Amino acid sequence: MVKKPVQYSVIDAFTESAFKGNPAAVCLLEEERDEEWMQNVAMEFNISETAFLTRSTDSINHDSPRFHLRWFTPVAEVNLCGHATLAAAHLVFTSGLVKTNIIEFLTKSGVLTAKRVDGLKKLNPSKSSNDKAEHFSIELDFPTISVTECESTEIPSIPGTLNGASVINIKKTASSDLIVELSSGKMVADLQPQFEELLKCAGSGVIITGHAPHGSGFDFFTRFFCPKLGLNEDPVCGSAHCALAPYWSKKLGKRDLVAYMASPRSGRLDLHLQEDTQRVLIRGEAITVMMGSLLV
């Protein structure tokens, strides 16, 4: 039996500009595909994340439309991914698949909600002043990830990567990543990582973060290195902020935070920590840059 072509979009997440933020491929499945096929497709795209989206058959029993969602790096499936969830929600909201402003994703991390938040109308400078494009962001409702102390054996030794940068704190997350806080956001942005060193670290990934420069409009800067997951640097990592939101909220004494991913592609995330429910609302924008069909 010949398989139907699978429609896909490549969407840049946590940005309003093409070729910025974090790219994710989102594949809309009309029939079931096996895990090996999904991993091969993710390897073929070879970008930070490929998402596979399937409409749930039990959507009629819920107020909001539901979709099954899975995420794959080029080498492995992951349990939580922010930017590919944002990209998947952007596809759903812009493709006419739903008529609501709220959708739910059924994932390995439970039910995740995405809400469309309409904003101002923005003019497209390449067209006439009467031609307006709708402008909206998406708010994701994610679980927080706890942060704990590191054992001495888990503290990374990465002298080449840090190159003398002043380390303020080292923690680990429940998702097995390491958080290394530097004394300034500028040090985070200027970091030249040695990926051979980072591969030897105890965590699955290394989150480097620091207080944002005064007057930047941000609360903190971050970069996320994860060579063990098949990509050296994740340009904008939404799931890392499930740990960074409570971490920086405690340090800065505020629940509303503006985060900047200081990778070469860069990206912005607006965060709100809900301490009573241990959830974090992650808001960002996205833009579709490519559409096509998988023929295998």
pLDDT in tens, the chain (296 residues): 567 899 999 999 999 999 999 999 999 999 889 999 999 999 999 999 999 999 998 766 678 999 999 999 999 999 999 999 999 999 999 999 999 999 999 999 999 999 999 975 444 444 433 333 457 999 999 999 999 999 888 898 999 999 999 999 999 999 999 999 999 999 999 999 999 999 999 889 999 999 999 999 999 999 999 999 999 999 999 999 999 999 999 999 999 999 999 999 999 999 999 999 999 999 999 999 999 999 99
Q: What is the pLDDT of residue 152?
A: 87
Q: Residues 62, 237, 295, 66: what is their CA dihedral angle, to the nearest 10 degrees? A: 0
Catalytic residue at 49?
yes
**Residue of 257, 280, 277 lying closest to 269 (CA atoms):** 257
Q: What is the pLDDT of residue 130?
A: 33
Contact predicate 238/284, CB 8 Å? yes
The full set of domains in the chain, from first to last, is 6-143+283-294 (3.10.310.10), 147-277 (3.10.310.10)
Q: What is the pLDDT of residue 126?
A: 45
pTM over 0.85: yes
Q: What is the pLDDT of residue 61?
A: 64
Q: What is the pLDDT of residue 242?
A: 98
Q: What is the pLDDT of residue 98?
A: 95
Q: Which of 16, 36, 44, 49 is catalytic?
A: 49
How far apart CA 292 and CA 279 sit, in angstroms, is 35
List C-alpha distances in Å: 147 to 19, 89, 113, 175, 243. 32, 28, 23, 9, 6
